[in-house]
Amino acid sequence: MRGHHLLLSRIRQRGRVLLPVLLAGFLFGALFFWLGRRGIPEPAPVRPAAQARAVTARSDLGDFERNNIEVFRAVSPSVVNITTVEHMANLFSRRITQVPRGTGSGFIWDADGHVVTNFHVIQNSDAARVTLADQSTYEAKLVGAFPDRDLAVLHIEAPRDRLPPIIVGSSSDLVVGQAVYAIGNPFGLDQTLTTGIVSALDREIESVTRRAIRGVIQTDAAINPGNSGGPLLDSAGRLIGVNTAIYSPSGASAGIGFAIPADEVNRIVPRLIRDGRVTRPTLGFSAAPPDLNEALGLGPGLAIVGINKGGPADGSGLEPFRRERDGTIVVGDMIVAVDDHPIANFDDLLEQLERHQPGEKVTLRVKRINQEREVVVTLGEPGTE
């Protein structure tokens, strides 16, 4: 009996020890189970290593792609980046600092260091720097500008072997639909190539002087801020225009860009290099405002209302409109054409005069009432009559 009680006592003692252990084990197990249900990730299964995809060989580049590459390689060394700066004075230190004003594009005209760009690229700036394709940078000097055609010529002192001139083409034989290329620095990203076609010809845009620029090329090649002054090229890599403006409500390319035709550039740039400006010869007469034509029902043409004494038109037989003492208007001569180019207004006349030099002769077709005749006049120097 005593042994039986001793056995029960030992069982109770072992129970007091084992019960907490069993309880702790149960609690830990429940805790781990709860944590597992709460999202502790299980170890990821071992997966086989990913293999690179096999490369599929491509065929040769197409003719169009090869031509794109060749045009860019051939012409990009002739395209430059232009950065304009403005001089600002510090009121406290009295030091003059150069503050970047804007960027644009341009191209090398000749190995003497002449660079062509838009006038509006350098307008209102105090200085400009030209960065070549090899990233060398040079201070530029303004040689001349013709704001009426938004053209300007800069000059840099750079080694001739770093100045590959652009190849100049013609814009008179362009046709809508032919491929074109634009190289420039849109948004300051230099040496950017965009492609497109000639979308339209003989467009008219307004210059910074409010004069009309006629015969402009329209293209859908992407032209953005910074492309201004850069070249528009044909598929042979020849210059056919100077990118000058875009039509875009957002300020970015909308597929309508404009370029000054290369024939105008090739006519104006040599004169800017030689004279620093385009000297427009004069005929030496005064013209009536368009209101007179409308009031008198004269039709298109330029009504002469005064002849400058001693000027080119003096003694040529041209007769101006005049008003008698009683108020009656005596009909005079109207210029309706210069060298067979129709003249509808004063802007037309200026455009034709810009194509000539002082001392050259022009043939005026004039009309008085219903009779027309031709008058030959020798153009004079501006300000000499």
Active-site residue list: 120, 150, 228
Phi, psi (deg, nearest 5) at residue 30: -65, -35
Tokens, residue 344: 């509808």
Tokens, residue 347: 């802007």
Cα–Cα distance for residue pair 125/111, rounded to 1 Å? 25
> What's the sign of the alpha-carbon dihedral 230, 234, 235, 237?
negative
- Of the candidates 67, 63, 60, the one whose C-alpha atom is nearest the C-alpha of residue 181 is 67
Phi, psi (deg, nearest 5) at residue 122: -105, 0
Are 323 and 300 in contact, with CB atoms under 8 Å apart?
no
Cα–Cα distance for residue pair 214/205, rounded to 1 Å? 7
Cα–Cα distance for residue pair 37/25, rounded to 1 Å? 18
Cα–Cα distance for residue pair 164/182, rounded to 1 Å? 18
Cα–Cα distance for residue pair 42/29, rounded to 1 Å? 17
User: What size, in residues, is the chain?
Assistant: 385
What is the Cα 227 distance to its own chain's centre?
A: 4
Amino acid identity at 364: L
Structure letter (DSSP) for residue 50: P
CA distances from 273 to 60, 92, 160 (A): 45, 41, 17
Cα–Cα distance for residue pair 229/224, rounded to 1 Å? 11
